[in-house]
């Protein structure tokens, strides 16, 4: 059994109700999200694919990558996508002291700068209740997901990655992809197909704004 779930169970969503797992299913909207960028090898390609379908998405950026690739980061903003905070150093909240974790998030926030975002996604989906409470008290919204593409998993095929998304996505789903080198092969296979498939069915790809 793989150490992750493709579809987030309703029970988990119920228990952790203060976190955002999906949005209203009344309209045919899908929320694509991309973690770990900006990355020169894949982020600009991702932006090009999104533009073909007038799709908007949310990029959960790592602070150190923003600092290393400011031009790509500004391009994400210029093209109308939302920005989210993904810590400065991709920290696992459950393995990091609270103060270190929260300080690291603020470092990333400062690098986000004028595009300051209240959206936060914990790397690996790992965050303690105390960390979450502290962030929400500061005004952050903790954004999790409804569907995990598993594009980061080198043990599965490109087709299985596509299957993960197609078989589990519904109206209102938040889907996780990664604009990282590790995920780039699967993303290049899956993303154009996802955009084409759901666009043909009348879905709109929306960025997260809450």
Residue 45 has pLDDT above 90, yes or no: yes
* Whether the Cβ atoms of residue 147 and residue 4 lie closer than 8 Å to each other: no
Residue 82, beta-bridge partner list: 58
* pLDDT confidence of residue 5: 95
Quick one: average pLDDT of 155-168? 97
Dump pLDDT digits (tens) for 27-38: 999 999 999 999
Active-site residue identified among 36, 146, 178, 179? 178
Active-site residue identified among 35, 36, 151, 153? 35
Residue ranges of domains in the chain, CATH in brackets: 10-205 (3.20.20.370)
What average pLDDT does the chain have? 97
* pLDDT confidence of residue 167: 97
Residue 1 has pLDDT above 80, yes or no: no
35 is catalytic: yes
* pLDDT confidence of residue 117: 87
| Predicted structure pTM score | 0.96
Quick one: average pLDDT of 80-96? 98
**Banded model confidence at residue 25, pLDDT cuts 50, 70, 90:** confident
Quick one: average pLDDT of 71-99? 98
Radius of gyration of the chain (CA): 16
């Amino acid at each position: 059994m793989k150490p992750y779930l493709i579809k987030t169970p309703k029970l988990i969503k119920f228990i952790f109700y203060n976190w955002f797992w999906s949005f209203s299913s009344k309209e045919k909207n899908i929320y694509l999200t991309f973690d770990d960028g900006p990355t020169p090898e894949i982020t600009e390609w991702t932006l090009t694919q999104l533009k073909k379908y007038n799709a908007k998405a949310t990029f959960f950026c790592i602070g150190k990558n923003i600092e290393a690739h400011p031009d790509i980061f500004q391009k994400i903003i210029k093209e109308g996508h939302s920005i989210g905070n993904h810590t400065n150093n991709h920290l696992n909240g459950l393995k990091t002291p609270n103060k270190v974790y929260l300080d690291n998030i603020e470092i990333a926030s400062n690098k986000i700068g004028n595009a300051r975002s209240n959206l936060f996604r914990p790397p690996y989906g790992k965050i303690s209740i105390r960390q979450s409470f502290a962030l929400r008290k500061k005004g952050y919204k903790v954004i999790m997901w409804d569907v995990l593409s598993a594009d980061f998993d080198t043990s599965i095929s490109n087709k299985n990655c596509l299957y993960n998304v197609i078989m589990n996505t519904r109206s209102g789903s938040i889907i996780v992809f990664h604009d990282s080198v590790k995920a780039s092969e699967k993303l290049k296979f899956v993303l154009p197909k996802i955009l084409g498939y759901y666009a043909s069915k009348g879905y709109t790809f929306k960025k997260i704004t809450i």
